[in-house]
Amino acid sequence: MVQFNNETRELSIKVVYYGPALSGKTTNLQELFKKIDPKVRGRLMTLDTKDDRTLFFDMMPVFFRTSTGVKVKLKLYTVPGQVMHESTRRIVLQGSDAIAFVADSRRSEAASTLAYWNNMLKNLEANGLDYRTLPIVIQMNKMDLPDARTEAEFGDLKEIISPMVVPAVAIRGEGVLETLYALLQLCYRSLDARIGLEGKWKISEQEFLACIFSHVDMRGTKLATVGAPR
């Protein structure tokens, strides 16, 4: 849950990349690491095993100050995908403000993707988080592979809630920024409704997103033409 400190005027926001093993969660963070200006981000911390599989999580902090002097700290996490790390996934999910669910789009992965999706909803509930109101974006990753599902075929994930779906090829950096942008936009709106970002903290949606995305290499994304703020 967003941590905010009125005295020091600080906001800490937690974003978690969730999904099955090898769906591309770490790849997302690595791409973001490449694209975000080192001035506004810290190191990418990866706790992995010898075989390059995520053991606990990856984490990258992004931080900025708004024009009204509010310090915003955004922490991006991934969860370990392998089935056996269930308890770690639950711990990392704790206090999330927004979730990117990274799905392997291939039809062959549909069953395990759905299982992880339901498992995530269960773990959110276990953490006292309401997935009906929590900002969640589904990233359909690996869209370049021949067996990939189309957006219309993702209905199985939309039975309980109906989150936005963003197509991606994370390994080529495609859709990675779009996912984060969409997620942070939802996240802003949810936080605004809860703690009054606009009214109380004097941070507009445009400024919130601009503070981050003006420090991001937007080349090759659709967002560049949409007009990255500032």
Partner 1 sequence: MTLPPSVLQAQATLGELVDLKSFGEVCQSFAELYRVGLKVFDAQGNKLVDVKVGNADFCGYIWQKPDGRAQCIATVSRVKSEEVPEEAKPTVFDCFSGCRYCVQPVVYEGDVIGRIVFGPFVPEDLVRLPQGLTGISKDFDEKLAAGYLQKIRRVAQATSEKIVKHFGDLVDVLVFTGHKNQLTARLHIEAMQESYRELQEKNRQLEASYAALKELDRLKSNFIATMSHELRTPLTSVIGYSEMMLEGLGGPLTSEQREYLGIIMEKGENLLQLITSILDISKIEAGRTRLVIAEVDVGQVLRDAVATVLPLARKKGVKVVWEPSPLPRIHCDRDKVRQCIVNLVNNAVKFTPAGGQVTVDARPLPGERVALQVADTGIGIAPDHLARVFDVFYQVDGSSTREYGGAGLGLAIVKSYVEAHGGEIKVESAPGKGSTFTVVLPVRAAAGPVMSPVGTTQVAAG
List interacting residues with partner 1 (CB under 8 A): 3, 40, 42-43, 45, 47, 55-57, 59, 61, 63-64, 71, 73, 75, 77, 85-88, 90-92, 94-95, 126-128
Give the distance between the most distant pair of CA atoms in the chain: 53
Q: Which tokens hold the place of 55?
A: 């053991």
The least CB distance from residue 15 to partner 1, in Å, is 13
The least CB distance from residue 195 to partner 1, in Å, is 17
Closer to partner 1 at the Cβ: 128 or 146? 128
Select from 131, 219, 139 the least CA-distant residue to 180: 139
How far, in Å, are 88, 111, 163, 166, 197 from residue 130 at the CA level? 19, 24, 14, 22, 20
Select from 223, 196, 226, 216 the least CA-distant residue to 64: 216
The least CB distance from residue 63 to partner 1, in Å, is 3
Closer to partner 1 at the Cβ: 103 or 203? 203
Closer to partner 1 at the Cβ: 63 or 131? 63
Closer to partner 1 at the Cβ: 59 or 203? 59
Measured CA to CA, the distance from residue 46 to residue 137 in angstroms comes to: 23
The least CB distance from residue 133 to partner 1, in Å, is 17
